[in-house]
Amino acid sequence: MLKLYDRELSGNAYKARLLLALLDVPYQRIPVAMKEGRNLVDSAYAGLNPRGQIPTLVDGEDVLWGSTAILCYLALRHDPAGSWLPRDPLPMGRVMQWLELAQNEILGGLFRARGIVKFGLPGDLPAAQATAVSALEVLESRLRGDRWLAGPEPTIADIACFPYVALAWEGGVEIASYAGVRRWVGDVQSLPGFVGMPGIEGQSVG
Amino acid sequence: MLKLYDRELSGNAYKARLLLALLDVPYQRIPVAMKEGRNLVDSAYAGLNPRGQIPTLVDGEDVLWGSTAILCYLALRHDPAGSWLPRDPLPMGRVMQWLELAQNEILGGLFRARGIVKFGLPGDLPAAQATAVSALEVLESRLRGDRWLAGPEPTIADIACFPYVALAWEGGVEIASYAGVRRWVGDVQSLPGFVGMPGIEGQSVG
């Protein structure tokens, strides 16, 4: 069975949990402890993930680290129809645009603001919140006219961008004025098989 | 013909130029001006790229923004053999691990340190340099024993990680003590069709 190195409150690990739930793929969760705001990385875990972060996915002999790689891998392996990650150049490129946003303005803004406000991590809160707003504006520019981020159907682009947007309030960032973003958050939560996490409504993965 | 919105000194735009050169795909460069350390984004460019960043690729009616999306799109479209971006789940997942590193520790460390030192942008230089070191350590953990980042052959993972590593010295970061990284930089520079940019040896794209 797949193993996911994970933590309940991690939005990055939740991306993997959410796609696994939507694809109905069974897996085992292995929690990674924290110490002083960082992952507690022993040498065994460092051997699995040289970045010392979560999530990490273990599939038999194979190891993949980072939410981007895990989302792509799971979609390619467990969704042969290619709905969650289209295989053709332009549709896949469109998904990748949003995976890059998820790793840039969304992590540098929404993720960081949440870390400062919710977990007391050091950082420049006004700067993080300003970056968060720029992320929301980019998302709104798409979602005010389109239902999903990368194409006519939901893809891993939506999964990658969703968690820290839905958790924006935990970093003191309001999404109320972004009508398209707000509607999209509800649409993601309505997907068959959707699961939540602490801070995001929906059945949590136990 | 493909159009690339670009700037000579941008390592992110150079990722696209480098892959286009390695794939021997002709394209037209359109420089995007800067003002006070930011891209000068008029409404036409904002319509192409909602993030207001470079690079942006225009292929006929189709527009793709961000180096990750552009690298994936070009590899899928112009390298049908799948050498630069393998199509199978595990090899593609392995490429995506490094694309995520390129968007995280490499941009947050090496890119940011260069911006502060070379372009006088605001920021915390010691913090950026510390992140840069963590990026180099992750790269070294792979490259001390393997020739390329994601598999037995060069892929877009190498293209995505290369520029800001090769430009590390412009941010006051030394790569001399990372023997695997140093060897790999030379191997990338030896690829048939390789082009450089200011700060990276090799014929520049005129």
User: Are residues B142 and A73, on separate chains, in Cβ contact within 8 Å?
Assistant: no
Answer with the one of A57, A78, A99 that is the final residue of a domain.
A78
Q: Tell me the per-residue pLDDT of A137-190, one tens digit each, with 9 for 90 and over.
A: 999 999 999 999 999 999 999 999 999 999 999 999 999 999 999 999 999 999
Residue B60 covered by a domain:
yes
The structure tokens listed for B8 are 């000579």
Q: Tell me the per-residue pLDDT of A77-129, one tens digit each, with 9 for 90 and over.
A: 999 999 999 999 999 999 999 999 999 999 999 999 999 999 999 999 999 99
One domain, residues A25 and A72: yes
The number of angstroms, rounded, from the C-alpha of A107 to the middle of its chain's C-alpha atoms is 10
Question: Which of B67, B92, B99 has its CB closest to that of A76?
Answer: B92
Which chain B residue lies closest to A142 (C-alpha atoms)?
A: B50
Q: How many residues does chain B have?
A: 206
* Residue A145, domain extent: 89-189
pLDDT confidence band for A31 (50 / 70 / 90): very high
Phi, psi of B157 (to 5 degrees): -60, -45
Contact list, B70 vs chain A (CB under 8 Å): 93
One domain, residues B64 and B142: no
One domain, residues B109 and B143: yes
Kindly report the CATH number assigned to the domain that includes residue A124: 1.20.1050.10
What confidence score (pLDDT) does residue A205 get?
63
Residue A202 covered by a domain:
no
* pLDDT in 10s for each residue of chain B, 206 residues: 999 999 999 999 999 999 999 999 999 999 998 877 778 888 889 899 999 999 999 999 999 999 999 999 999 999 999 999 999 999 999 999 999 999 999 999 999 999 999 999 999 999 999 999 999 999 999 999 999 999 999 999 999 999 999 999 999 999 999 999 999 999 999 999 999 999 999 876 65
User: Are residues A69 and B94, on separate chains, in Cβ contact within 8 Å?
Assistant: yes
Q: Which amino acid appears at position A83 of this protein?
A: S
Alpha carbon of B60: minimum distance to chain A alpha carbons (Å): 12
Which chain A residue lies closest to B157 (C-alpha atoms)?
A: A69
Examine the pLDDT at A36 and tell me if it is beyond 80.
Answer: no
Q: Which residues of A touch B (CB under 8 A)?
A: 50-51, 62, 64-70, 72-73, 76-77, 87-90, 92-94, 96-97, 99-101, 103-105, 107-108, 134, 137-138, 141-142
One domain, residues A103 and A183: yes
Which chain A residue lies closest to B139 (C-alpha atoms)?
A: A50
How many whole angstroms separate alpha carbon B85 and alpha carbon B95? 7
Question: Which of B64, B89, B105 has its CB closest to that of A97?
Answer: B64
Alpha carbon of B37: minimum distance to chain A alpha carbons (Å): 16
One domain, residues A148 and A183: yes
How many whole angstroms separate alpha carbon B147 and alpha carbon B125? 31
One domain, residues A181 and A127: yes
- Give me the residues paired with residue A57 across strands: A4, A64
Residue A72 covered by a domain:
yes
Residue A54 covered by a domain:
yes
Which chain A residue lies closest to B59 (C-alpha atoms)?
A: A90
How many whole angstroms separate alpha carbon A36 and alpha carbon B199? 39
One domain, residues A114 and A55: no
Q: Which residue, A97, A82, A103, is CA-closest to A149?
A: A97
Contact list, B64 vs chain A (CB under 8 Å): 90, 93-94, 97
What confidence score (pLDDT) does residue B135 get?
98
Pairing of strands A56-59, A62-65: antiparallel
Which chain A residue lies closest to B72 (C-alpha atoms)?
A: A93
One domain, residues B178 and B108: yes
Question: Which of B62, B89, B97 has its CB closest to that of A77?
Answer: B89
Helices (H), chain B: 11-23, 43-48, 67-78, 89-103, 105, 112-119, 125-143, 156-166, 179-189
Residue B70 covered by a domain:
yes
For chains A and B, count residue pairs whose Cβ atoms are closer than 8 Å: 96
One domain, residues A121 and A53: no
Residue B102 covered by a domain:
yes
Contact list, A90 vs chain B (CB under 8 Å): 62, 64, 73
One domain, residues B57 and B109: no
Answer with the one of B78, B103, B121 that is the final residue of a domain.
B78
How many domains, chain A?
Answer: 2
Residue B181 covered by a domain:
yes
Q: Give the global pTM.
A: 0.96
Residue A56 in contact with residue A31, Cβ under 8 Å? no
Kindly report the CATH number assigned to the domain that includes residue B71: 3.40.30.10
One domain, residues B96 and B178: yes
Examine the pLDDT at A18 and tell me if it is beyond 90.
Answer: yes
Gyration radius of chain A over CA positions: 16
Residue B83 covered by a domain:
no
Residue predicted with more confidence, A204 or B21: B21
One domain, residues A64 and A36: yes
